[in-house]
Amino acid sequence: MTKSSWTHLVRFDLDGSPSFGQLCEPAEDGKLEELIKVNVATGDPVLGTIKQTGKIITVAREALLMPIATCPIVSIIGINYDAHVKESGQSEPTIPMIFYKPRRSLAAPFPLIRVHQLGQEHLDYEGELVFQTGPEPVKNVSEADARNHIIGYTSGCDFTARDGKVLKLMNFCFGKSFDGFSPVGPVLVHPSVVGDPLELSLETRLNGEVVQRGNTADMISSCAKLLSVMSSGTTVEPGTVVFTGSPGGSAHFVGGTGVYITDGDRVEVEITKIGKISAQFKFD
């Protein structure tokens, strides 16, 4: 693999336009200070055109945009951790379970998410590792080759309005697709930093209480395998964003002890080496 022109990209508003930048002092554990120094960059990582300008500025952490500019669609993977398989009562999938969300479901890493009445009944969280594909369309690639098409990793949460009196089971995909239901960030981290195989700790917290804890080493299908399967007979477009599945602990799957998201709640997802997102909810 050729040396990359970046390792830790953030995205922010610069003079009225979104811009990428390289973190000047990235922390090994992925944590960010309230104010961060970045080297302003031109280009787009999906296109392979990132170039650092040498202009150093200070950006407020809470003002960061999602570290993604180009994205045709969001793919999500279901039941991809052993603990999630057990709590769901299902058998381990022979091939990954793949769903899709619209691009508009993506959100910044520190958003206020406004929830429509249709999505308020059983609002659930699933913290996930997320990756993005690069400049070439991907079709019928091997698992070994798929690794070369992953340009970076970030943290994300797949929020879902579960079935209930309002939304029935047939609306499963719709319940995942509300605007803002897929916050990602705050940093897009290059694969050379993350390592392979992936062994990243993940925690999801609801109002400060840990509700999910896992490690990407427990994924049933690796990121490369997921992309390989997704490309079977299907073109994966450049910039596709992929949520790779969630460990056990989401409210829907833990029986009577599960606590769903309510008005005013805050959900955080933190992954070592990657960083933390934090979303607050406002029910309309």
Q: Which two tokens stand for residue 121?
A: 């009944």
Question: pLDDT tens, position by position, for the chain (284 residues)?
Answer: 457 899 999 999 999 999 999 999 999 999 999 999 999 999 999 999 999 999 999 999 999 999 999 999 999 999 999 887 887 777 788 899 999 999 999 999 999 999 999 999 899 999 999 999 999 999 999 999 999 999 999 999 999 998 777 777 667 788 999 999 999 999 999 999 998 778 999 999 999 999 999 999 999 999 999 999 999 999 999 999 999 999 988 888 776 557 899 999 999 999 999 999 999 999 99
CA distance 208 to 57: 31
Residues of the chain with CATH 3.90.850.10: 74-283
Considering Cα of 9, then 209, then 91, then 119, what sign does the dihedral take?
negative
Tokens 């009196």 locate to 165
Torsion angles phi and psi, residue 259, rounded to 5:
-115, 115
Is the separation of the CB atoms in 8 and 191 below 8 Å?
Answer: no
Length of the chain: 284
Instruction: Name the CATH superfamily for 74-283.
Output: Fumarylacetoacetase-like, C-terminal domain (3.90.850.10)
Quote the pLDDT of residue 167.
Answer: 77
Q: Which two tokens stand for residue 124?
A: 């659930």
Is the separation of the CB atoms in 115 and 178 below 8 Å?
Answer: yes
Quote the pLDDT of residue 2.
Answer: 57
